[in-house]
Amino acid sequence: MIHRAIPANERQIEPRLAERFHKTLQQHAPPADLPFTEELAMALVSDALNWKASDLHVEPGAVDTRVRMRVDGLLHDVAVIPTVSGRHIVTYFKVLAQMDTSALARAEHGHARMDAGGMQLDLRITVVPTPNGEMLGIRLLDGLRAVLRLDEIGMSGPEQSHLRNWLAEIQGMLLVCGPVGSGKTSTLYALLRELQRQPCGIVTLEDPVESLMDGITQIEVNEKRGLTFSDAIRAMLRLDPDFLLLGEIRDPESAHTAITAAGSGQALLSTLHARDSVGAVTALRNYGVKNWEISAALEVSVAQRLLRRLCSRCRVETEITSAQRESFTTHGISAPARLWKPAGCDVCAGTGFDGRIGVFEVWRLDTEARTLIVHGADEPALRKHATATGSRTLLADALEKTAAGLTTFAELRRLGRQAQPADSAV
Ligand SMILES: [Zn+2]
């Protein structure tokens, strides 16, 4: 046999995922003398889709190659394949994405389309050189992926109102902050969906376009075909829309574009790598934006993370410890009588979790916040003001969702470096 699933006793592996994957590989095991790379590649992608994986990794090691899939934000090791099969798969996807097939000395990115079971898929492909050979990462984007409504992303009613009020005013800048994979893009699309019903011009500049939306002009950066980020920005500004969506503020150029657009009567939505809502101010300062410019342009800063949502079909009650109880009360949330923990059933493939839920922190800037920014106030000062004016932290929102049985106490660890409760064991 040429493949083996990783034994379930090596941790990190969801046994049922490994078992199902093992079966797939067996079905696709080829007669010894036939090339089968394409079949195996298709099987990997279609399985990734079945499990609703967002990413598929093929990672060469010293001895063999590991296949991993990201499901609900966690990477699961699902199989080990021979190094030579791994190499063929990497080459297959490089050809599909029209990338240079010689061994690369640096990371390369590409796009490919694939027909999987009648469904057109957009694949975002990254190949990175490692000491053991090339590592392949595939981000799976379903071009017809449903765009969630604002009331479906997990945001509380009052926070949704802050965003809707901003949309109605058509001015300044709304930023969604968080690390990669924190659901920022879904939030922007949910906001665009609100705007679709209104008679206003909307243009987006994305890299790449992740969901297609009717009635909205979507521009995709494509450096290979000659549409650079700078060209695309100029094209976008010429269209003079009411709302501009810039996929990401990632350098001084995009930061200044955003500030300029927001200062010239257009409303701008974008995402930013920042730890929390007030961290957006620091990030913009680091890109060379002046305090007075930030103060004039920034209207709303949203921070968000995704936590795994407990499978409601199999979750089980668990006792709440006194330390956990204290975490709730410290944050002004009444502690629940009990908490919930994952079990595992057929519906959730034994993981105990079913999809993810957003946790949010929404900071609507007022006059005093603007004054603080102009005077160069640091993050702790801005944080203090935001909290005093009713902005709830990511942790507080996450604790409310934990109390409601939507997620677990252990998931709070995913909030990153933000202040966390002392006892975050299940
Ligand atoms: Zn379940």
User: Does residue 5 sit within a domain?
Assistant: no
Same domain, 96 and 230: no
Q: Are strands 133-142 and 53-60 parallel, antiparallel or unpaired?
A: antiparallel
Q: Which domain CATH number covers 104?
A: 3.30.450.90
User: Does residue 31 sit within a domain?
Assistant: yes
User: Does residue 4 sit within a domain?
Assistant: no
Ligand 1 center from residue 352 Cα (angstroms): 5
DSSP state of 38: H
Q: Which of 141, 135, 202 lies closest to 170 in space, CA to CA?
A: 202
User: Does residue 389 sit within a domain?
Assistant: yes
Total structural domains within the chain: 2
Identity of residue 61? G
Identity of residue 385? H
Sheet strands (E) in 132-264: 133-142, 173-177, 202-206, 217-220, 243-249
φ/ψ (deg, to 5) at 142: -90, 115
Same domain, 135 and 179: no
Same domain, 32 and 171: no
Same domain, 273 and 134: no
Q: Which domain CATH number covers 359?
A: 3.40.50.300
Ligand 1 center from residue 339 Cα (angstroms): 16
Same domain, 22 and 158: no
Q: Are strands 173-177 and 298-310 parallel, antiparallel or unpaired?
A: parallel
Beta partners for residue 317, in sequence order: 340
Residue 9 has what pLDDT? Answer: 34
284: part of which helix (H) or strand (E)? helix 279-286
Ligand 1 center from residue 413 Cα (angstroms): 21
Same domain, 357 and 326: yes
User: Does residue 173 sit within a domain?
Assistant: yes
Collect residues with CB below 5 Å from ion ligand 1. 311, 313-314, 345, 347-348
Same domain, 185 and 54: no
Ligand 1 center from residue 342 Cα (angstroms): 8
Domain endpoint, select from 105, 122, 142:
142
Beta partners for residue 81, in sequence order: 65
Q: Which of 249, 251, 250 lies closest to 262 in space, CA to CA?
A: 249
Domain endpoint, select from 142, 175, 201:
142
DSSP state of 155: -
User: Does residue 102 sit within a domain?
Assistant: yes
Same domain, 334 and 232: yes
Domain endpoint, select from 109, 142, 175:
142
User: Does residue 3 sit within a domain?
Assistant: no
Same domain, 99 and 178: no
d(CA 389, CA 303): 16
Same domain, 96 and 114: yes
Residues spanned by the domain of 127: 15-142
Same domain, 98 and 240: no
Q: Average pLDDT for consecutive 10-residue bins of the chain (426 residues)? A: 36 52 56 60 82 87 88 82 86 86 76 74 85 89 68 91 91 93 90 83 82 78 73 79 91 91 88 95 97 96 94 95 94 93 88 91 96 97 95 93 94 70 42
User: Does residue 424 sit within a domain?
Assistant: no
d(CA 60, CA 84): 10
Residue 323 has what pLDDT? Answer: 93
Same domain, 138 and 161: no
Ligand 1 center from residue 324 Cα (angstroms): 24
